[in-house]
Chain A
Amino acid sequence: MAKLTVNGKEHDIDASDETPLLWALRDIVGLTGTKFGCGQGLCGACTVHVDGEVTRSCITPLKQAAGKSVTTIEGLSEDGVSHPLQKAWVAEDVPQCGYCQSGQIMAAAAFLRDNPEPSDQDIWDGMANLCRCGTYLRIHRAIKRAARKEV
């Protein structure tokens, strides 16, 4: 049993300590916005924030997140549309299949918080999540758009 705050709500999670945060979120808390891509920390589809830090939840055991505050894509903005990155994502029509995009946006949110005025190179250096549909150029543009507050 682990206590977890997810998007501001407390949860008692009945699962073994070793359960990856990803599966606790998806199968127990019931939040499916966070995705499974590789399970090995290689793709970023499962990116969430744990106490504000970008975290690949597929390789984060529950015990490591216990007592901490987790933010998932569902908790990024109250209404699901008003975060500057969400607006920028829509303005640039970033998603194709969309499967990587929860993770991309969560990674971008932490990135922009730490680098509010990123250069092009900063973005290329700072964003490592994979996208099989190759939406990288639009992800890049959307981050710039959000940084410039053009949303």
Chain B
Amino acid sequence: MTTITNISLSRRRFLGGSAASAGVFMLGLHLPLGRAALADDVDGDMNAYIGIADDGTVTIRNPYIEMGQGTYTSIPMLIAEELDIGMDIIRVEQAPPGEAYRLLYDGSRRFTGGSFSVRSAFKPLRTAGATARKMLMKAAADEWGVPLAECSTDNGRVVHEQSGRSLGYGELAPLAAQLETPADVELKSSADYRLLGTPVARTDSAIKSNGQAQFGIDVRVDGMVYAAVKQSPVFGGKVKSVDAAAVRDKPGVIAVDEIPNGVAVIAQTYWQAQQALAELPVEFDTSETDSAGFSSDAYRDELDQHLDDSGVAAEDSGDAPAALAAAARTISADYHAPFLAHATLEPMNCTALVEEGHCTVWAPNQGVDSVVMAATEVTGLDADRITVHTPYLGGGFGRRFIMDYTVQAVTLANRRKGTPIQVIWTREEDTQHDFYRPLIAARYRAGFDDDNQPVSLHTTTAGDGPIRRHMSSPDEEMKVDPSVMEGVMHQPYAIANKRADYVYRPVAAPIGFWRSVGHSMNAFFTESFIDEMAHAAEQDPIEFRRSMLNEEPRFRKVLDTAVQMAGWKGQAWDADDGRKHAMGVALHQSFNSIVAEVAEVSISDIDEIQVHKVWCAVDCGFAVNPRIVTMQMESGIAFGLSAALLEQITVSDGKVEQANFDSYPFLPPQRMPEVEVEIVNSGADLGGIGEPGTPPIAPAVANGLFALTGKRLRDLPLRADEVTA
């Protein structure tokens, strides 16, 4: 594979340090998470989620970062509910690295992604709140010499009703912190929730409306200088030669230096660094990279050649190929999804300061342990010598799992001990050095019996995926990459014979996790093809889906809800604007949440695909904060629609052809549809919310365009000229 520096999610584990901040008593919570690792903290390390200051202000250490998805509101809500406090006295802080903050995969990992945050924190953080409350009550009971059972709490105070006494949490916290942590606490039943399930306002809206919210790019450290970087335009290339002398005398320039895959100019201001870099003569050596001749067109052709390979079955029930061969009627269709960039509005950046025996990193990241690991690898320091600050992220969408930009900042700072350095990528670097949603091709085949009933669904998906790339050791044979196959396998529709084949074709380009990952393309393939099947079976797409969902009441309910909201119209109609409009539907489960979307579409006067309105029904089990769930559906729809209509990365000779927002545009305000969201609280296990809104929109729009024009678009992005021609 290519030689891209690629320190990312890893199965390696190591211990991080942490410290309680001064003036705040940290309750030593040893959460009953059922694993021994937390015992690491018992010897006085005050790893904890809750700190209570003298004045009663509660600091909540959030193990998850805030990148727009609302964790700085929904996570504290879990604690506030059980601790019996209002949201107004809460300060949210990013938890430092440390074992106690690993809530994923049985307490072994911590990252923000996979739409995991609220569902993984739901039990442990409510437990944290309830445990703290019980300790505060015990401290008060001891103080008053009354039975614990006679104490209760009321919004930040422990109350002894009989005697009319009460004490604030701030007064009790130092006493409570001395107490044994109770092993078992009872959690409220959902009927008693005050906060959970209500539309609590975001904690970060005000500071994000006045410029105060600090993003990575806003970090300012005394004596800090700036670095602009140029990475090998061809993936995996290295610097061959650089003429540093040519720019050394430019205004503000401090140094020219190498980074793992390119060069950096360090200067007093970022603009000076950028200006000098633009004039820096640099040549790259691409002789040793597999990517040198890589082209996305050729790769797509290669995938197409392998769509009849037998592959590895990710799902195999009945005998789909045989049923297909015996079917009265069959249909088959090929689909494609392109490489996509994340295009976070805040470009990659990182600030680092290395001093003797210590390294401090300010890194927008989706996994603090990965930052620590990157810094240890570059500096050779132990993990407990690394301090990480995680600011607000100006978007993440899966990009900031991968630590390439962190490695650059730490590399530069490590060679200049004592000087803080901030690396900022230009938009062009950001677009051309992303870890892209992979290009995938798929062939879908269905067979019907004499009564036009579906009897077989056989799919083949060819490509490469980020889980195999970033999470397996190279020698590990990953037969089925879930990041390629999620959303193809185990679909809810009852079809007697189903097979989903995966054909692994390694891609010589950097790939990564893009909001909703495999679902982002597979929902498009699957739900477009279900529509094709409905058409082939001469059935209404809604009725066709419903007929295969008799055993799936949750799916039916979500589908029916969206259809009702939309006032479903199966045929195109003449709308008030003088054009024909039509509706399309898609239903998809991802991250344990089920979402149905109906899109109303037309072709605009300027021959663009126009999506007028989207009706969205979502079942995430229980909406902890319905306001945030609604916001995330709006956001997920915008993100998915942007990709469906506009986004595509192409690669030629190992080099990305897009650069800034003119060549890689994303959804502008004028193309945002109206969105109406309804939440179905089914009471099922919690599902995620940051990603599931994204997958259904592309197929809903494509299905609507089919209803509108009778033409089927099978490649993303959807092109209006292919339906109007």
Interface residue ranges, A against B (CB under 8 Å): 15-16, 19-20, 23, 26-28, 30-40, 42-43, 45, 72-74, 76-77, 80-81, 85-86, 89-90, 93-102, 105, 124-125, 127-140
Contacts and interface: CB of A to CB of B under 8 A. Distances in A.
Nearest to A139: B669
Q: Is the interface of A mostly helix, strand, loop or mixed?
A: loop
Nearest to B66: A97
B493 interface: no
A100 B667 CA distance: 14
A63 B217 CA distance: 25
Contacts of B21: none
B653 interface: no
Interface string B242-270: 00000000010000000000000000011
B202 A40 contact: no
Given A89-B205, A93-B202, A97-B395, A137 B675 contact: yes
Contacts of A72: 211
A130 B394 CA distance: 13
B345 A128 contact: no
Contact of B211 (A32, A132, A136): A32
11 contacts: A36-B217, A36-B424, A40-B660, A85-B209, A86-B206, A90-B206, A94-B205, A98-B207, A127-B669, A135-B631, A137-B634
A133 B635 contact: yes
B210 A131 contact: no
A40 B427 contact: yes
Contacts of A125: 670
Contact of B635 (A34, A36, A42, A135): A135
B668 A128 contact: yes
A93 B209 CA distance: 10
Q: Quick one: which of B201, B211, B347, B635 has the most chain A CB within 10 A?
A: B211
B218 interface: yes
B642 interface: yes
A28 B251 CA distance: 15
B220 interface: yes
A39 B635 contact: no
B666 interface: yes
B670 A124 contact: yes
B313 interface: no
Contacts of B396: 97
Given A38-B661, A134-B634, A101 B217 contact: no
Contacts of A74: 210-211
Contact of B345 (A15, A23, A27, A37): A37
Contact of B666 (A16, A85, A96, A130): A130
A35 B68 contact: no
Given A80-B210, A133-B635, A136-B672, A90 B205 contact: yes
B637 interface: yes
B67 to A, nearest CB: 5
Interface residues of B, number: 61
B366 to A, nearest CB: 12
B627 interface: yes
B420 to A, nearest CB: 14
B605 interface: no
Contacts of A138: 631, 634
Interface in B49-81: 66-70
Nearest to B346: A99
A86 B210 CA distance: 7
Contacts of B210: 33, 73-74, 76-77, 80-81, 86
Closest 7 pairs between A and B when the two form their complex, measured CB to CB: A33-B211, A134-B638, A99-B394, A98-B208, A96-B68, A97-B68, A95-B208
A129 B672 CA distance: 13
B344 interface: yes
B513 interface: no
B347 to A, nearest CB: 7
B226 A90 contact: no
Given A33-B210, A35-B217, A96-B69, A23 B271 contact: yes
Q: Quick one: which of B220, B392, B397, B672 has the most chain A CB within 10 A?
A: B672
A43 B427 CA distance: 11
Contacts of B218: 32
A38 B660 contact: yes
A39 B275 CA distance: 13
Nearest to A85: B209
A38 B344 CA distance: 11
Contacts of B346: 35, 37, 97, 99
B209 A32 contact: no
B634 A45 contact: no
Contacts of B426: 39
Contacts of A81: 206, 209-210
Given A33-B212, A36-B424, A137-B672, A98 B660 contact: no
B669 A28 contact: no
Interface in B192-233: 201-202, 204-215, 217-218, 220, 226
A38 B660 CA distance: 7
A39 B347 CA distance: 11
B209 A90 contact: yes
B669 A93 contact: no
Contacts of B201: 90, 93
Contact of A95 (B209, B344, B637, B670): B209
A27 B251 CA distance: 15
Contacts of B634: 134-135, 137-138
Contacts of B660: 38-40, 42
A5 to B, nearest CB: 18
A77 B424 CA distance: 29
Nearest to A89: B209
B480 to A, nearest CB: 32
B631 A96 contact: yes
Contacts of A73: 210-211
B639 A134 contact: yes
Interface string B161-180: 00000000000000000000
Nearest to B641: A134
A38 B69 CA distance: 23
Contacts of A35: 215, 217, 345-346, 394
Interface in B323-381: 343-347
Interface string B130-142: 0000000000000
Contact of A101 (B70, B209, B270, B675): B209
B292 interface: no
B646 to A, nearest CB: 11
Given A27-B270, A134-B667, 20 more contacts: A32-B220, A33-B211, A42-B661, A80-B211, A80-B212, A93-B627, A97-B346, A98-B392, A99-B345, A101-B209, A102-B211, A124-B670, A130-B345, A130-B666, A130-B668, A132-B344, A132-B639, A134-B634, A134-B639, A136-B669
A32 B270 CA distance: 13
